[in-house]
Amino acid sequence: MFQSKWTYIGAVIIAVFALAAIFAPWLAPYNPYDMRLAEQLSLPTLEHFMGQDANGVDIFSRLMHGARISLSVGVIVVLISGTIGITMGLVSGYYGGWPDTILMRLVDILMAFPGLLLAIALVSVLGPNILNVVIALTVLGWVSFARLVRGQVLSVKEREYIQAARTSGQSDARIMVVHIFPNILSPVIVQATFSVAGVIIAESSLSFLGLGAPPGTPSWGAMLSEGKQVILEAPHVSIFPGLAIMLVVMAFNFLGDGLRDRFDPKSTIN
Amino acid sequence: MTPTTPEKTDTPTPILVVKDLNVVFRVKHHAVPIIKNISFNLFPKQTLGIVGESGSGKSVTALSVMKLIDTPPLLHMTGQILFQGRDLMTLSNRQMQPLRGKELGFIFQEPMTALNPVLTIKDQLVEMIRNHLKVTRREAVDRAVSLLTEVGMPNPGQRMRNYPHQLSGGMRQRAMIAMALSCNPKVLIADEPTTALDVTIQAQVLELFRTLQEERQMSLLFISHDLRVIAEIADQVMVMRDGKNIESANVDRLFHSPIRAYTRELLGLIRYQ
């Protein structure tokens, strides 16, 4: 009961952020690029209830627009890297042999790098923009899916119903898609949920370092970075984007935990 | 050992001929022969029962006919498996796929584990039908309902929407049989299909096999460790032990005047029970 309450809270927070992101152009009270230099760093007021940043832009409006970047990068990276990782894991686990060996060594190599450092290196080489952030995080992200799926496939492919599907003359591709994949979907969904949280943090970190969205774009990481310069005189400039990142990541983790408990009967014994 | 000779068949050409089948597994770097020179003939509309204790090679023989033994453990497989005159030994996995399920049906022992737990009976039947036959989804669903009716599934329309865990053991085995029959196979291979069922359901399922075989004019390769089940259903019997054919004969001859000591021993076990 307690678990499901937190799952529910997580889902609601995500829904609120998602709606804010989707409808930001209509819901945001101000233009996120509208500079009012005379009002720079002003504290929260009734009109600007999260205050204004160093350029006098309304922080609340910028956060709403920033949610579009954070959430869409999170979801897009997980969709692409999940698709790649699931395909790799299915093929590798199902066929075994040399494709499996090659793929798993590649996974080991990628896992050996500290993730964020590799992302920084990739984005520096490719050039700092959002598309390259997506590419870098995808290159890192598929690995965990491939490993998870491979392990699951190794266990599921030995079940008798897979043998039964083979005796009924179904092709390998069909067996993988129709018979194996639905059986391993639950852990994949849980992994995807946690991955979105991880990607949002990574994107914010890259933007914080100036490797994400171009300067001036409303992005949570970049807003934190801008706030850092004035943290002593105007802490609200960095507090609100920081809170937004924390809330969203926490919400995805709550949801992931809840889904894991729901899908995995072993973890709900107590 | 010589192949079984047909004693009460009207068509002399066997539909399935297995000749000198040898199957060798690799176990920890050693080559271990699992099946040793097995030969048998399966005639149209007849039932060949294969009987033997656990580990005698019955299931490996059945899977060899389907060419579904994984490498590893398989090291090599020699001999001939002629299905309607075509040697399955020479076919690739891809060439075997259209035969599996369509010409050669297969039923497993444990219907709980042989049905996919996350797909409904309908999904599994429709998947199977559409894999082999060019029919629309609607036609496949209709066919699935009539198959379930044919195998005596109560409320087939409603049961179709169930997942395997929602069905009783007997119903699951009926669903498995429906799947195996869905593309009208000429040969049905049943590997201990009644072993996991309790005795009353076992009798019903055996009766179902007899009816279906008669209606559909199929050949049946029926594997069991239980001689009583074999006595009920088989025309010809092959007794296996340690991968070898101990004795093959017509069912009446085998039960009334067994030649080999091992066969007599097996028969003795039934009488004492």
pLDDT in tens, B166-192: 998 889 988 998 999 888 899 999 998
HEC readout, B213-251: HHHHCCEEEEEECCHHHHHHHCCEEEEEECCEEEEEEEH
CATH number of the domain enclosing A122: 1.10.3720.10
- Check CB contact under 8 Å for A182 and B127: no
- Check CB contact under 8 Å for B119 and A166: no
Q: Are B84 and A132 in contact (CB under 8 A)?
A: no
The range of the structural domain enclosing residue A217 comes to 10-17+50-267
A39 domain residue, yes or no = no
B166 in reach of chain A (CB within 8 A): no
For residue B149, the SS3 value is helix
B179 in reach of chain A (CB within 8 A): yes
Residue A16 contacts by C-beta under 8 Å, 6 or more apart in sequence? none
Q: Are B73 and B27 in contact (CB under 8 A)?
A: yes
DSSP state letters, A189-239: HHHHHHHHHHHHHHHHHHHHTT-SSPTTS--HHHHHHHHHHTTTT-THHHH
A34 domain residue, yes or no = no
Q: Which residue of A has its CA nearest to B128?
A: A168
A158 in reach of chain B (CB within 8 A): no
A22 domain residue, yes or no = no
**Torsion over CA: B107, B108, B110, B116 (sign):** negative
Distance, CA of A116 to CA of A134 (rounded, Å): 13
The pLDDT assigned to A267 comes to 53
Our count of domains for chain A comes to 1
Shortest Cα distance, chain A CAs vs residue B262, angstroms: 31
* Residue B72 preceded by cis peptide, ω within 30: yes
Taking the model in full, what pTM does it have? 0.82
A162 domain residue, yes or no = yes
For residue A154, the SS3 value is helix
pLDDT in tens, A208-254: 998 988 877 888 998 998 888 888 888 889 999 999 999 999 999 99
The pLDDT assigned to B4 comes to 52
B69 in reach of chain A (CB within 8 A): no
**Which residues in chain B touch residue A185, judged by CB atoms under 8 angstroms apart?**
118
State percent of chain A over pLDDT 90: 56
Element (H, E) at A108: helix A97-112
Distance, CA of A84 to CA of B165 (rounded, Å): 32
Bridge partners of residue A52, in order along the sequence: A58
The pLDDT assigned to B199 comes to 84
Distance in angstroms between the alpha carbons of the first and the last residue of chain A:
12
Give the relative orientation of helices A236-263 and A59-95 as an angle to the nearest 10 degrees: 30
Distance, CA of B228 to CA of A21 (rounded, Å): 71
Shortest Cα distance, chain B CAs vs residue A146, angstroms: 22
**Which residues in chain B touch residue A188, judged by CB atoms under 8 angstroms apart?**
none
Shortest Cα distance, chain A CAs vs residue B100, angstroms: 4
